[in-house]
Amino acid sequence: TSSYICVLSGSHLISALAVRFPHWRILTVDNLQYCSSLKNLRSVEASSKYTFIPGDVCDPFLIKRLFATEKIDIVFHCAAETHVENSFLCPSRFMRVNADGTGVLIRAAFEARVRRFIYISTDEVYGDSLEQPFDELSPKRPTNPYSASKAAAENIVMSYWMKHKFPVLITRSSNVYGPHQHHEKVIPRFLSLIQRDQKCTIQGSGLQSRHFLYVSDVTDAFLTLMEKGILGEIYNIGSSFEIPIIQLARELVKMKVKDVSEEALVDWMEFVEDRPVTELRYPMISDKLHKLGWRPKVTWKEGIRRTIQWYEENPNYWPSISENGEESPASCDQTPSHAMPYHVR
């Protein structure tokens, strides 16, 4: 029987694994911060093959004991602090969780002779590009503490491949969206604001654009790489769908507000202070992954329809932004996040 450890932010992946491989054991480690919820795992919580372990990836005693007592074959390392604005306020926390935590986890996995270690990274390690898309050989040029900590974690992971030929894989994906996502992310944030007849808060000019991938396409990519990925390689998980943030806000308002006119759309937007460093685009080439047979299957039209429907059917899934200003801590001292309009990688 194979075992998995899915660490943080992996609820859709866990559900997909449980469906695809019903005889495999799934272990999840999560410290249940503000953007985590055990409700995301209702589909598997009753399964005898699934175990949830509350804990911190940075805790070497917990992680070492876990690998010593469980026969873990494959690791999906999704644990991360991901909010870019917060990373400027508390870079040490991001380096601790994203880099130091990765060091703790991969050392324990290496000592336990795990068969495959899949590290979930980000397109942000490339920095931005207005024209030339990034492939996996493009240099890393992180521009904020979050992406710098993810780049450092990649280096730690790759060092185990270079020195020990420990079986690692690294993924770098575009922005992910879909059901269950916490409303610190841009799509659920905008939907939540529109639902309460409030304006979408848009950072800077709103002309920065992002590529979006529906969550099931990303989990399919992870499973493809688990089965077919070449060890020691990095794989982009990119999307051809790109949209400026201001256009995203316009589209969501038109989908949610009945008979809104083009002229009235501007009344649904509020432009706020930009983040310290803004990347306009993260274009990527995913040819390596395409050669393994993966392609995105869910169109933007269908994915956003499913997403909107889920949030309409689950309006109180996450604490209300207005009722609880501290559900998304913005700094090391847990300052409320009212000043943080949203996070889009």
More confident residue, 3 or 289: 289
Taking only the tens place, the pLDDT of each residue in 27-38 is 988 877 656 666
Higher local confidence (pLDDT), 16 or 3: 16
Q: SS3 of 251, please?
A: helix
CA distance linking residue 267 with residue 305, whole number of Å: 23
- Higher model confidence: residue 4 or residue 25? 25
In the chain, where the domains are located: 4-177+214-239+283-298
**Given 3.10.20.30, 3.40.1280.10, 3.40.50.720, 3.40.50.1980, which CATH number is that of 4-177+214-239+283-298?**
3.40.50.720
Residue 297 pLDDT greater than 70, yes or no? yes
Buried b (16+ CB within 10 A) or exposed e, 110-143: bebebebbbbbbbbbbbbbbeeebbebebebbbb
248 pLDDT higher than 90? yes
pTM of this prediction? 0.90
Q: Which residues are catalytic?
A: 123-124, 146
Pick the residue with more confidence: 300 or 81?
300
Backbone angles phi and psi of 294, in degrees to 5: -90, 140
Amino acid at 327: E
Dihedral angle over CA of 88, 89, 93, 97, nearest 10:
-40
